Amino acid sequence: MNAQKKTATAHAKEASKTNEKSKLAETNVAKEINPTLFQEAPIKNPEPDILDIKNLSEEKKPLRQDSYPEKFTESPLLKDLEAKVCEYEELLKRNQADFENYRRRSLEERRQVAEYAAEPFLKGFLPILDTFEKALATQTTEENLKSFLQGFSFIKKQMDGFLTTIGLQKTTALDDEFDPHLHRALQIEEVANSETALDSVQKIVSIYEQGYRYRKHLLRTASVKIIKYKKAEAQQAPPEKMENPEELQKNKNIEKNNE
């Protein structure tokens, strides 16, 4: 059995060798007849060893809208999408502007709250300040009371210095011109002045209650007495006497007859 297998294998190898030789012979004959059939085609675009990144990036760029097919550019779906994009862009811009305005308003409100945080306290403190001023304006001949008022005056100066540093200011002084935005006239006295004075000038001659301003806010108007100056009326000259035209004519005739 082994001998038969070896014999069969040897015969198969010889047959394959014979077939290969015959194919090779046929190929050689074909080459001699038409050699161009077996020439290798040249490689037109060999693959580069290093990839050109610039060219690759350009190839991957999306096409411009004008390079789209005409059918696609005229599509109603594309037009709807473009309209939606424009609408959302406009909405985004408006929201950004609204948010920026809101942020600025919030910062300004916070600044004002911090800047005028002491305003309610100062409004309540003004009556105490008025009481101090009335006490210091008291006239007395007693030495003990004078020394007591002198101590009050020192305290008042310290208070005024502190209130000035935080922004509290008086709005009114004697001989100031009356301003209806800052003053409240409790008493008005009219006085005729010389011709050089302006007409209807109003001066403050007495302050019943001082007005105060905290930074840019008016806390309280001042209660005052004012004098209203007016120009003295000039004396009018008496009207000239009008002569009668008939009498003038008679006088002229008399003069002619005398001549």
Q: List the 183-193 sheet strands across, edge first.
A: 183-193, 222-231, 201-209
Instruction: Please name which of 221, 238, 145 lies closest in space to residue 180, comparing C-alpha atoms.
Output: 221
What pLDDT, on a 0 to 100 scale, did the predictor assign at position 54? 46
pLDDT band at 51 (very low <50, low <70, confident <90, very high): very low
Domain layout of the chain by residue ranges: 48-115, 120-231
CB-based burial label for 224 (10 Å; 0-12, 13-18, 19+): buried
What pLDDT, on a 0 to 100 scale, did the predictor assign at position 170? 93
Least confident of 24-28, 86-90, 227-231: 24-28
Judge: domain 120-231, CATH 2.30.22.10. Answer: yes
pLDDT band at 57 (very low <50, low <70, confident <90, very high): very low
pLDDT per position as a tens digit, 83-98: 899 999 999 999 999 9
Whether residue 113 has pLDDT greater than 60: yes
Q: Using an 8 Å Cβ cutoff, are 202 and 227 in contact?
A: yes
pLDDT band at 150 (very low <50, low <70, confident <90, very high): confident
Indicate the average pLDDT of the chain.
Answer: 75
